[in-house]
Structure 1
C-alpha cells in the first residue's frame, strides 16, 4: 500500500512538473514572439508602407532613403519602397504646404537612394528643375533610354542592365567602366550624357 502511495505521489509530482514546464515554455514562446514582432520605429525616419500613398511593394529590393526639405508639411528623412517617385516622398512628408511651388518638380521622377530634394516656395525655382537636363540616369534608365546614348545599341544597353541587376545601383558614373565593352573612349563620349 505504501509503495502504491509513493508511486501515486511520484506520478502527481511528474504531472505537476509537466504542467509547470508547459506553462513556462508557452510563456517563453509568447515573450519571444512579442520580441521578434515588436520593432521600435525610429523617430527621425518616417516609413511609407507598400501600398500606402501609391507606393508599390518591390519584394526583395532594398528600400530607398530620401531627404525631403522645403515647402512640405513634415520635412525629414523618409524610407520608401524601391521604385518610389517624387510624389510618394512628398506624400510621406505630409504633402505640400500652401506656399509650395508645385509646378517646379517632376512628380513622376523615380527616386534614388540617398538623394535629397527641396520643394520650392512660390516664386522660387527648384534645384530639380534647375538641374533638369537630358542626362540618362544609369540607375533608373530602361533599355530604350540607354539606347538613345551614342555608341550604346541594344546589345550594350542589355549589358548595362545586366550589370545593374547583378551588382546593384551604380554608385558613380565611373562604375560604367566595369560593364563589358565600355572602354575609355566610349566612356569619355558618355561622361557628360549620364548621371546616377
Structure 2
C-alpha cells in the first residue's frame, strides 16, 4: 500500500470521527432540551402555581358598616361580591338605602362597605326610612354607630387615628348604647368629648 493510500485512509477515518462526534453532540443537546421542557411548567402557569401553593387570594377580609343587621369584619372567599358581604352581615337594616351601593362590585381585601340609610324630609310620615347614617334628626350630626372613618374624621378633635379606634371599639363591643360611651374609646377624654358632643348622635 502506497503512502498516498495510507494518507487517504487516515483522512477518511478522521472525517468519520468528526461526523460521529458532531452527531452525538447534537443528539445529546436535543435530549437535554426535551428533559428541561418536561420539568419546567408551561408559560403562564407560574403565578397560578405559586398562588395556589401560598394560598394567596383564597379569601378577603372586609368591614361591613352602616345599614346592616350585624355590622362587623367578615371573611369571604376570593371573588365574592358586595351582596355576599351584606348577606353575611345579616342583610339590610330597616331604612337602609340599598340603591346607593353597587351590590355586584367584587370584594377586595381590607375593603370597607358602608351601607347608607335613606334620607327623609322633615315631617315624614310614620314608618318612613330612618335618617341618613351620617346625620341625626338635626340634619347635621354624625351617627357614631354607623358613620364611616371619613365621616368621623370630620368631628372636631377626631383625626384618622381616633376614627379608626372608634370603629374598632364598636366592632369589638357592639354599637354605642349612649353618646357618652364614646369616652370609653382610648384617647377620648372629657375635654375632647366636649368638643364634639353636640355634633354626634346614635
* TM-score of the aligned structures, taking structure 2 as reference length: 0.39
* TM-score of the aligned structures, taking structure 1 as reference length: 0.40
Q: Which has the larger radius of gyration?
A: 2
